[in-house]
Amino acid sequence: MSNSAIGNTCSIRVDEEHKIKLTMIGDSSVGKTCLALRFSQDLFTTDHKATITDIETRVLNIEGQDVLFQIWDTAGQERFRSLLPLYLRGIDGAVLVYDLTNPESFMNITTWINEVRKYASGNPVMALVGNKTDLNNYIFVAREDGEKLASEQGMIFMETSAKTGHNVQQAFFEVGKEVLKRKNNGPGPAEFADCVKVDDNDDSKKRRGCCS
């Protein structure tokens, strides 16, 4: 089973049932931008810029199907909270991120869960992601606590490192698989979508600011 992207920047033909809209959500500075960037372009940067909103795209092959991910990266700052309903409208899934070194960001996850359930329609897939496993000497949120919360809330659970890439591809891959299970199997209108398809062997990557 392949979970690698194929090709380079391109336009491909994408059916609606093979297009996934995800929103990254969580406190500021937990690594939402870095996770989105690591997944979409296999990049990591220590440049920190506050995110208002940004969209990353990537095509991933899931069980023989090319799936276009549209990843909406949102700001975690309180002053941008009023924009959240716009980012959650029509989503197929939400990736809720906390910082393993910051217990408060984990405690706030229940608030973010409530926001998703309040503003997102239908039954979006939710994944709980504890980020920054590379800081193993500073981790204050136990894996068991994350697993327990995810189990209680019916969420996918993963611990990741945007810096090293640990489990990042797998986290989005698992979300994509679950979204496809829930999508309507009927034919949808096809459209051409501009996307970034990442060749994992290509070192010519464009760097951008991170993280929120």
Task: Spell out the domain ranges in the chain.
Answer: 10-183+191-195
Per CATH, the number for 10-183+191-195 is 3.40.50.300
For residue 32, give the nearest of 10, 49, 16 by alpha carbon.
49
For residue 34, give the nearest of 84, 73, 79 by alpha carbon.
73
Q: Distance (Å, rounded) from C-alpha 55 to C-alpha 65?
A: 22
> Using one digit for the tens of pLDDT, what is the confidence trace for 36-84?
999 999 999 876 555 545 788 999 999 888 999 999 987 755 556 678 8
> Using one digit for the tens of pLDDT, what is the confidence trace for 108-153?
999 999 999 999 988 899 999 999 999 999 999 999 999 999 999 9
